[in-house]
């Protein structure tokens, strides 16, 4: 994952791009860089470290220019250092590119280019793609846009790329497959971003670019094309996020803010759906496919990371309340094997961002085999939401913290509602138990608030154990999945080794680790 930003218009690009990169820093933070158009010449500044390190290294250098692109990197190819930071220059030094994703056949392309005498300044797959495009442009004597289109037909992998070049001083050329790209439409200006956060204070009108689409973005023009060079009509949508939702509101970190938002986000997730008094759950997307879900041979849950843990909880809940067979799959494994999917299988795809590349590819595959895809996502209008037949949003608001917190509990809330609804419709759940569980679910926001009111007690526990080198999280039933999620959080946030285990498994080996 990484964050990309672009601006072309009448304002100065640098402050907009830098601010945008800070908002996207959750997506990547091992290095950052920016490329600016300055008098028909592209200048690049880049630096290992955070966006603030980049700013510091730029110091008082000349950063004027009304067209620019920026990148915060989370390295996949080549160590995080100044040399591998984006943007990259093409061999001729005329084109600058930033890239979010992975070019899977970069080694093959690189060896072709090496045999033609190309040399590389970085270890990235990105520079290979860029030189491959430039090679096509030179050989065919064509425009950059045309060269990009030809190149992308040979590229496998996932990408969002943005390019600027000497010949088109106010133009940003973009393409997308498998990674997210949003374009903000302003007056005589356009904004580009991995999500909408860099453009929120300037415009609420956005276009979500789809896979296999190319965008030629100028201050006063946005041209969208497919790889067949046919023009497409950009579908402009109105954003419903407010700026305040992506700011820290007095907390030191986004993650802390998001943890404390949970009573509200769980409430928002249940609101308008769960009616404990009348005993109803309203979820139109699920209702629409209720028949197929009830009669499904099995439900396959596809997700990654924290969402996968939510899926594991859902497996236990759905099997218990609905008596439907459930399997939980890592999207990255599912997509790279040859899974058995039958017509009528129901897939539940869970993803906070709705852009998780592995999950997206996995559901596209399943769709071609006739499965029904239901998306449980947080970001409205995201790729997984659009690729699904139906689904339910988690309504947790933007999650900026790198480690998922409020999105996880919102996912659990949605999954619980789905299980209750289906279990009840199927008749697998008695009226009494259904009503009881609705009431319990309704009380969760209140209980979450009660726990958060005891943050000091939690802090005291953390203080006591903070120097331990290894942690084992144990749980049974629903709490087994929670143990896995707890261990993941500790690893991700504290860099301390942690593992989650089913409680009774301890005696089958791992207990040897306890000192
Ligand atoms: N594959 C590219 C690199 O390693 C981009 C990684 C990213 O998405 O940040 O440089």
Q: For residue 126, give the ligand 1 atom closest to its CA.
A: 2
**The predicted structure's pLDDT at residue 52:** 95
Reading the block at residue 279, the tokens are 């005993």
Contact 357, 365 (CB under 8 A): no
Q: Write out the E strands in 307-385.
A: 325-330, 346-351, 372-377
- Is the minimum distance from the CB of 126 to ligand 1 under 6 angstroms? yes
Q: For residue 73, give the ligand 1 atom closest to its CA.
A: 9
**The predicted structure's pLDDT at residue 99:** 97
> Which of 99, 176, 357 maximizes ligand 1 atoms within 8 Å of its Cβ, making it the mutation to test the pocket?
99
5 C-alpha to ligand 1 centroid (Å): 14
Contact 177, 159 (CB under 8 A): yes
**Is the pLDDT at 27 greater than 90, yes or no?**
no
- Is the minimum distance from the CB of 76 to ligand 1 under 6 angstroms? yes
User: Cβ contacts of residue 391 below 8 Å, gap of 6+?
Assistant: 285, 286, 349, 373, 374, 375, 376, 377, 385
- Residues spanned by the domain of 139: 3-245
> Which of 124, 130, 157 maximizes ligand 1 atoms within 8 Å of its Cβ, making it the mutation to test the pocket?
124
| Per-residue pLDDT tens digits for 54-109 | 999 999 999 999 999 999 998 889 989 999 999 999 999 999 999 999 898 999 99
CATH of the domain at 480: 3.40.50.10490
366-to-116, 177, 211 alpha-carbon distances in Å = 40, 18, 17
The one-character DSSP state at 510 is: G
| Per-residue pLDDT tens digits for 311-363 | 999 999 999 999 999 999 999 999 999 999 988 899 999 999 998 989 999 99
- CA 388-389-390 angle, to 5 degrees, is 90
Q: For residue 1, give the ligand 1 atom closest to its CA.
A: 8
Q: What is the mean pLDDT of residues 154-180?
A: 94
Do 208 and 268 belong together in one domain? no
| Per-residue pLDDT tens digits for 406-447 | 999 999 999 999 999 999 999 999 999 999 999 999 999 999
Reading the block at residue 387, the tokens are 């690729």
Instruction: Give pairs for 508-515: CB < 8 Å, separation 24+.
Output: 510/472, 513/470, 513/472, 514/472
d(CA 47, CA 83): 8
- Is the minimum distance from the CB of 101 to ligand 1 under 6 angstroms? yes
Q: For residue 125, give the ligand 1 atom closest to its CA.
A: 1
**The predicted structure's pLDDT at residue 225:** 97
Q: For residue 77, give the ligand 1 atom closest to its CA.
A: 4
Q: Final residue of a domain: which of 453, 473, 497?
A: 453
Tell me the β-bridge partners of 206: 184, 237
Q: What predicted TM-score, i.e. pTM, was given to this entire model? A: 0.75
Instruction: Give pairs for 53-58: CB < 8 Å, separation 24+.
Output: 54/18, 54/21, 55/18, 58/34
CATH of the domain at 79: 3.60.20.10
Q: For residue 122, give the ligand 1 atom closest to its CA.
A: 10
Do 428 and 286 belong together in one domain? yes
Confidence band (pLDDT; 50, 70, 90) for 493? Answer: very high
Q: For residue 86, give the ligand 1 atom closest to its CA.
A: 10
Do 404 and 481 belong together in one domain? no
Q: Would you tell me how many other CB atoms lie within 10 Å of the CB of residue 351?
A: 32
> Residue 320: exposed, middle, or buried by beta-carbon count in 10 A (0-12, 13-18, 19+)?
middle
Q: For residue 71, give the ligand 1 atom closest to its CA.
A: 9
Do 164 and 223 belong together in one domain? yes
Do 230 and 275 belong together in one domain? no
240-244, 302-306, 500-504: least confidently modelled range = 240-244
Do 119 and 132 belong together in one domain? yes
- Residue 272: left if φ>0, alpha if ψ -120 to 50, beta else—which one? left
> Do β-strands 213-218 and 172-177 pair in parallel, antiparallel, or remain unpaired?
antiparallel
**The predicted structure's pLDDT at residue 401:** 87
- Is the minimum distance from the CB of 2 to ligand 1 under 6 angstroms? yes
304 vs 398, higher pLDDT = 304
**Is the pLDDT at 244 greater than 90, yes or no?**
no
Do 147 and 191 belong together in one domain? yes
User: Helix and strand tally (H, E) in the chain?
Assistant: 18, 24
Closest CA to 302 of 213, 391, 237, 223: 391
Do 228 and 286 belong together in one domain? no
| Per-residue pLDDT tens digits for 249-306 | 788 889 999 999 999 999 999 998 999 999 999 999 999 999 999 999 999 999 999 9
CA dihedral 222, 227, 233, 237 (to 10 degrees): -70
> Which of 104, 109, 125 maximizes ligand 1 atoms within 8 Å of its Cβ, making it the mutation to test the pocket?
125
For the chain, give the percent of residues with pLDDT over 90. Answer: 84
Phi then psi for residue 396, to 5 deg, are: -90, 0
- Residue 477: left if φ>0, alpha if ψ -120 to 50, beta else—which one? left
- Is the minimum distance from the CB of 77 to ligand 1 under 6 angstroms? yes
**The predicted structure's pLDDT at residue 57:** 97
- Is the minimum distance from the CB of 31 to ligand 1 under 6 angstroms? no
28 C-alpha to ligand 1 centroid (Å): 9
> Do β-strands 280-281 and 274-275 pair in parallel, antiparallel, or remain unpaired?
antiparallel
74 C-alpha to ligand 1 centroid (Å): 6
d(CA 151, CA 135): 9
User: Cβ contacts of residue 437 below 8 Å, gap of 6+?
Assistant: 321, 416, 420, 429
Closest CA to 24 of 173, 223, 246, 236: 246
Q: For residue 102, give the ligand 1 atom closest to its CA.
A: 1
- Is the minimum distance from the CB of 33 to ligand 1 under 6 angstroms? no
**The predicted structure's pLDDT at residue 224:** 98
34 C-alpha to ligand 1 centroid (Å): 15
- Is the minimum distance from the CB of 46 to ligand 1 under 6 angstroms? no
Reading the block at residue 399, the tokens are 């999650």
- Is the minimum distance from the CB of 102 to ligand 1 under 6 angstroms? yes
388 C-alpha to ligand 1 centroid (Å): 27
Do 367 and 481 belong together in one domain? no
124 C-alpha to ligand 1 centroid (Å): 7
Q: For residue 100, give the ligand 1 atom closest to its CA.
A: 8
Q: Final residue of a domain: which of 224, 245, 266?
A: 245
How many domains is the chain partitioned into structurally? 3
**The predicted structure's pLDDT at residue 361:** 92
- Is the minimum distance from the CB of 135 to ligand 1 under 6 angstroms? no
Q: Final residue of a domain: which of 407, 434, 453?
A: 453
Do 14 and 144 belong together in one domain? yes
Do 442 and 467 belong together in one domain? no
Task: Tell me the average pLDDT of the chain.
Answer: 94
Do 396 and 508 belong together in one domain? no
């Amino acid at each position: 994952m990484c964050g990309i930003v672009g601006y072309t218009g009448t304002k100065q690009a640098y402050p907009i791009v830098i601010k945008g990169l800070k908002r996207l820093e959750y997506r990547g933070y091992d290095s950052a860089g920016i490329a600016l158009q300055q008098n028909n010449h592209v200048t690049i500044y880049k630096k290992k470290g955070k966006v603030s390190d980049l700013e510091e290294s730029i110091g008082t250098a000349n950063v004027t220019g009304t067209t620019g692109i920026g990148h915060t990197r989370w390295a996949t190819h080549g160590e995080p250092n100044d040399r591998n930071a984006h943007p990259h220059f093409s061999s001729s030094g005329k084109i600058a590119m930033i890239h979010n994703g992975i070019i899977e056949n970069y080694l093959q392309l690189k060896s072709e280019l090496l045999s033609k005498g190309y040399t590389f300044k970085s270890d990235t797959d990105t520079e290979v793609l860029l030189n491959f495009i430039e090679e096509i442009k030179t050989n065919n004597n064509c425009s950059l846009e045309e060269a990009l289109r030809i190149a992308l037909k040979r590229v496998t992998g996932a990408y969002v790329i943005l390019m600027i070049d000497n010949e088109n001083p106010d133009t940003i050329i973009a393409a997308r497959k498998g990674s997210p790209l949003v374009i903000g439409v302003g007056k005589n200006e356009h904004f580009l971003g991995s999500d909408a956060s860099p453009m929120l204070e300037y415009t609420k009108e956005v276009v979500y670019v789809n896979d296999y689409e190319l965008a030629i973005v100028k201050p006063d023009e946005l041209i969208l094309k497919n790889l067949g060079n046919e023009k497409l009509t950009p579908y402009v949508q109105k954003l419903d996020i407010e700026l305040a939702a992506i700011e820290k509101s007095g907390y030191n970190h986004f993650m802390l803010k998001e943890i404390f938002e949970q009573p509200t986000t769980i409430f928002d997730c249940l609101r308008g759906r769960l009616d404990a008094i009348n005993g109803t759950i309203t979820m139109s997307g699920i209702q629409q496919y209720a028949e197929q879900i009830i009669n499904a041979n099995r439900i396959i849950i596809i997700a990654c990371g924290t969402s996968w843990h939510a899926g594991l909880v859902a497996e236990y809940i759905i099997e218990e309340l609905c008596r439907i067979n459930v399997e939980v799959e890592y999207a990255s494994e599912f997509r790279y094997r040859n899974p058995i999917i039958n017509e009528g299988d129901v897939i539940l795809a869970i993803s906070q961002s709705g852009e998780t590349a592995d999950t997206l590819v996995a559901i596209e595959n399943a769709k071609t085999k006739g499965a029904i895809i239901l998306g449980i996502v947080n970001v409205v209008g995201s790729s997984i939401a659009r690729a699904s037949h139906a689904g339910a949003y988690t309504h947790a608001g933007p999650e900026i913290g790198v480690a998922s917190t409020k999105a996880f509990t919102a996912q659990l809330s949605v999954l619980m509602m789905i299980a209750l609804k289906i279990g009840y419709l199927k008749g697998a759940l008695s009226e009494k138990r259904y009503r009881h569980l609705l009431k319990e679910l309704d009380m969760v926001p209140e209980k979450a608030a009660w726990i958060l009111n005891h943050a000091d007690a939690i802090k005291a526990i953390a203080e006591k154990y903070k120097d331990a080198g290894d942690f084992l999280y144990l749980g049974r039933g629903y709490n087994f999945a929670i143990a896995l999620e707890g261990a993941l959080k500790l690893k991700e946030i504290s860099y301390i080794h942690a593992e989650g285990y089913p409680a009774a498994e301890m005696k089958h080996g791992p207990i040897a680790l306890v000192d």
